[in-house]
Structures are given as structure tokens and as C-alpha cells.
């Protein structure tokens, strides 16, 4: 992968930027493999967060509704949005794949709610989506 990584690409707290960046490391340096693995991991996190941000902005109305009524069944979400259950299912499944929504089966019901782990990124992107 000949992707040039700048220091701006690593805005994650707790990551030693110099350890991730290749710099003037000799190719036989024992740390090279670890730096390469760390670089791939950080790149993967960055890519996934970009996908999350785009999806949050695109499906912000679904997220607003889900936030106000969670946990909620698919039918209730689709009724609130005024769209078909199939469309809502596709959109919710996309959010589930990005870990933004948690799907829970309880007795005979399937309930959906926002993943609290991503509350900050959801809030930031909802505000950013309103301003742009």
C-alpha cells in the first residue's frame, strides 16, 4: 500500500503519531512490522469512522426518530418516518452493520436502539449535518 499518511490522519487520542508514521526507519528495524500493523489498524478505524459519519448524515431523520423512541420496533420507526417497512429495514440494517444501532431480540419482539458507544460521533455528525 503506497498510501502516504500524514500526521493529520491520526487525530485519535492515545496514539503515538511518531510510532505510526514510517519516517526514517530502516527496513530491518524490528519495530517496522509493529508500526505497519498499527498503521493498518488506525487506517481501518479512520475508514470505518468516515463511513459512520457519512451514514449518520444521510440517515439523520431515522436517527432522530430512533433516538426519541428507543428502544423501538421496526414498524414503529417506519410509521414515524412515514416510509415503508422494507426501506426502514434496509436503512436500519446499514446502521447495524456500522455498529451505530444495536438490534435486540426480546421475547417475540425485535427492538432497535442507538449504540451508546458512538453517542459522541452521532451527536457531532448530526450537528454537522444541520450546519452543512
Report pLDDT for 58.
84
pTM of the model: 0.63
Q: Which domains does the chain have, with CATH numbers?
A: 7-53 (no CATH), 58-131 (1.10.10.10)
Residues 104, 71 contacting (CB under 8 angstroms): yes
Distance in angstroms (rounded) separating the CA atoms of residues 55 and 100: 9
Q: Cα(62)–Cα(39) distance, rounded to whole angstroms?
A: 34
| pLDDT at residue 3 in the model | 44
pLDDT band at 75 (very low <50, low <70, confident <90, very high): very high
Task: Give the helix/strand (H/E) hosting 126.
Answer: helix 119-131
Query: N- to C-terminal Cα distance for the chain?
Result: 33
C-alpha cell at 42: 488506525
C-alpha cell, 32: 517496522
* Tens digits of residue pLDDT in 57-69: 888 888 888 888 8
Give the whole-angstrom CA distance, residue 50 versus residue 59.
Answer: 14
Find, among 42, 67, 69, 58, the residue nearest to 119 by Cα.
67
In the chain, % of residues over pLDDT 90: 19
Q: Is the pLDDT of residue 108 over 80?
A: yes
More confident residue, 32 or 8: 32
Amino acid at each position: 500500500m503506497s498510501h502516504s499518511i500524514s500526521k493529520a490522519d491520526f487525530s485519535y487520542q492515545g496514539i503515538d503519531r511518531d510510532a505510526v508514521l514510517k519516517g526514517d526507519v530502516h527496513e530491518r528495524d524490528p519495530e517496522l512490522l509493529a508500526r505497519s500493523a498499527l498503521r493498518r489498524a488506525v487506517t481501518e478505524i479512520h475508514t470505518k469512522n468516515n463511513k459512520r459519519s457519512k451514514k449518520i448524515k444521510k440517515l439523520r431523520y431515522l436517527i432522530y426518530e430512533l433516538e426519541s423512541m428507543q428502544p423501538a420496533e421496526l414498524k414503529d420507526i417506519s410509521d414515524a418516518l412515514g416510509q415503508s417497512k422494507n426501506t426502514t429495514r434496509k436503512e436500519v440494517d446499514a446502521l447495524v452493520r456500522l455498529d451505530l444501532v444495536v438490534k435486540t431480540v426480546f421475547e417475540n419482539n425485535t427492538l432497535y436502539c442507538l449504540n451508546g458507544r458512538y453517542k459522541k460521533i452521532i451527536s457531532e455528525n448530526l450537528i454537522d449535518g444541520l450546519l452543512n
